[in-house]
Amino acid sequence: MTLERELERLTVAAPGSVSGGVALGTGLSDGFSVFESPLGSVVVAFNPLGVSAVDLFTDGFEDRFAERFRRQLLEARPPRDWERLILQALAEGTPGSLPVDFRSVTAFQRQVLEETAAIPRGETRSYGWLAGRTGRPGAARAVGQTMARNPVPLVIPCHRVVLSNGRIGHYGLGGAERKRRLLRVEGAIS
Amino acid sequence: MADNLATELASDLDESFPQLVARLQNGVFSGLRQLAGDHHRAEDLTQETFIRAYLALQSYPAERIRDMRLRGWIWTIALNLFRNDVRASARRPVPVRLEDVGYTQSEPPDSRAWRRRWALLPPAQRRAVILRHVAGLSYREISEATDRPASTVRSDVRRGLARLRSAIEEETNKEVGG
């Protein structure tokens, strides 16, 4: 065998981990891990900017993610210090110092979600109250739409936002019954 | 020569970037594996090379990307990262190689022989031979990646190959001589 031929044999396939690592490192794909939460198993997606989505760990979560965010999901472990922050955020219902990727929402929606993040556990607020906090008191309806678009339910506690007439209102992560269950666990309703 | 992939990257970076990775990753990984002499370092460096490439491309205007010659350019990044890594590892304690303590599962049997052969070559020759014959670059691409004249690269490759031939011959003589 010639030397050149022998050198060519040193050309090998890159390990499969390379393309996945590049996809995650560039943010072209998001990683996801499954965590336990007060609502059972949930999928938490993340990328270099922060946590990008929380969804119920049910069939089709990858398709739902791709449809909304236009990126693929790869199973991966989050950065080690985020793992603890994610568990804490899910347990307490507040992001704390966990970074959130807000690219999927508008500037107004982001402002609403950041106000929502500050609602204490065990309490609720109305859509109208939130609208007032953002300086647009008439925007209760837009606030309601924002709650429906919350990319990271549980981490940003949109379940603590209810109708001003005391009714529970919608909940994107599995319906009103789950919202009621969460508020009961938190001691906000009996 | 216009490169279709460069044109596609210029018009939709996010859509086409995985193709760039798919096309170049084997060459980049294989070249870095011989340069670094270590599978895992090569894996990390390859990953980092493409992440840096993506970040760079994000900041370039489309007309610049369209005219790029991608393979030579990727190797500019890979060689910079490799040099930085060599400098950083000079300050780290030397890890015990698994195969030195009798664990060879993770590496093909001839990689030790090649590490010894590469060590016999001056760095410029080693790099030129690896880029030409393992990573599959043209002389022009090597010249771009290493910022040396193509004529110098050619002579580096020629001398490097000659040195390797005599090294392999010496190995064979030793084996025959017992």
How would you write chain A as a 3-class SS string? CCHHHHHHCCCCCCCCHHHHHHHHHHCCEEEEEEEEECCEEEEEEEECCEEEEEEECCCCHHHHHHHHHCCEEEECCCCHHHHHHHHHHHHHCCCCCCCECCCCCCHHHHHHHHHHHCCCCCCCEEHHHHHHHCCCCCCHHHHHHHHHHCCCECCECHHHEECCCCCCCCCCCCCHHHHHHHHHHCCCCC
Residue in B127, B138, B150 with CA at minimum distance from that of residue B80: B127
Chain B residue with minimum CA distance to A9? B134
**Percentage of residues in chain A having pLDDT higher than 70:** 100
Q: B108-112: long-range contacts (C-beta < 8 A, 24 or more apart)?
A: B111/B37
Query: Which pair of structure tokens corresponds to residue A128?
Result: 């109208």
Q: What ipTM, to 2 d.p.? A: 0.85
Put simply, the answer to whether B30 touches A11 (Cβ < 8 Å) is yes
Put simply, the answer to whether A11 touches B161 (Cβ < 8 Å) is no
Q: Residues B21-41: what's their mean pLDDT? A: 96
Q: Are B121 and B129 in contact (CB under 8 A)?
A: yes
Q: What does the mean pLDDT of chain B come to?
A: 90
**pLDDT for res B97:** 58
Query: Which pair of structure tokens corresponds to residue A115?
Result: 């106000």
Express each pLDDT in A51-70 by its tens digit.
999 999 999 999 999 999 99
Residue in B133, B137, B107 with CA at minimum distance from that of residue A6: B133
A-B CB pairs within 8 A amount to 70
**pLDDT for res B95:** 59
**pLDDT for res A188:** 92
DSSP string, B81-95: HHHHHHHHHHTSPPP
Assess whether pLDDT exceeds 60 at residue B59.
yes
**pLDDT for res B98:** 53
Q: Does B167 touch chain A (CB under 8 A)?
A: no
Weakest-pLDDT range from A71-85, B91-105, B149-163: B91-105
Assess whether pLDDT exceeds 70 at residue A94.
yes
Confidence of residue A169 (pLDDT cuts 50, 70, 90): confident
Chain B residue with minimum CA distance to A3? B165
Closest partner residue to B21 among A3, A7, A19, by Cβ?
A19
Weakest-pLDDT range from B34-48, B61-75, B101-115: B101-115
Q: Residues A79-108: what's their mean pLDDT? A: 95
**pLDDT for res B109:** 62
Contacts of A26 in chain B (CB under 8 A): 17, 50-51, 54-55
Assess whether pLDDT exceeds 70 at residue B129.
yes
3-state secondary structure of B147: coil
Confidence of residue A1 (pLDDT cuts 50, 70, 90): confident
Interface test mutation site (partner A, options B33, B45, B50, B129, max chain A beta carbons within 10 A): B50
Q: In what order do the strands lie in the sheet with A72-75?
A: A50-56, A40-47, A29-37, A72-75
**pLDDT for res B90:** 81
CA distance B14 to chain A (A): 7
Assess whether pLDDT exceeds 80 at residue B178.
no
Q: Does B51 touch chain A (CB under 8 A)?
A: yes
Contacts of B33 in chain A (CB under 8 A): 10, 12
Confidence of residue B176 (pLDDT cuts 50, 70, 90): confident
Express each pLDDT in B86-117 by its tens digit.
988 887 766 555 555 544 455 666 788 999 99
Q: Are A101 and A49 in contact (CB under 8 A)?
A: yes
Catalytic residue among A158, A161, A173, A188: A158
Chain A residue with minimum CA distance to B13? A28
Interface test mutation site (partner A, options B9, B15, B30, B129, max chain A beta carbons within 10 A): B30
Q: Residues A148-177: what's their mean pLDDT? A: 92
Q: What does the mean pLDDT of chain A come to?
A: 94
Chain A residue with minimum CA distance to B46? A18
Assess whether pLDDT exceeds 90 at residue A20.
yes
Distance of alpha carbon B124 from alpha carbon A26, whole angstroms? 32
**pLDDT for res B42:** 97
Question: Is A158 annotated in the active site?
Answer: yes
**pLDDT for res A104:** 95
Put simply, the answer to whether B50 touches A7 (Cβ < 8 Å) is no
Closest partner residue to A11 among B22, B26, B55, by Cβ?
B26
Put simply, the answer to whether A13 touches B134 (Cβ < 8 Å) is no
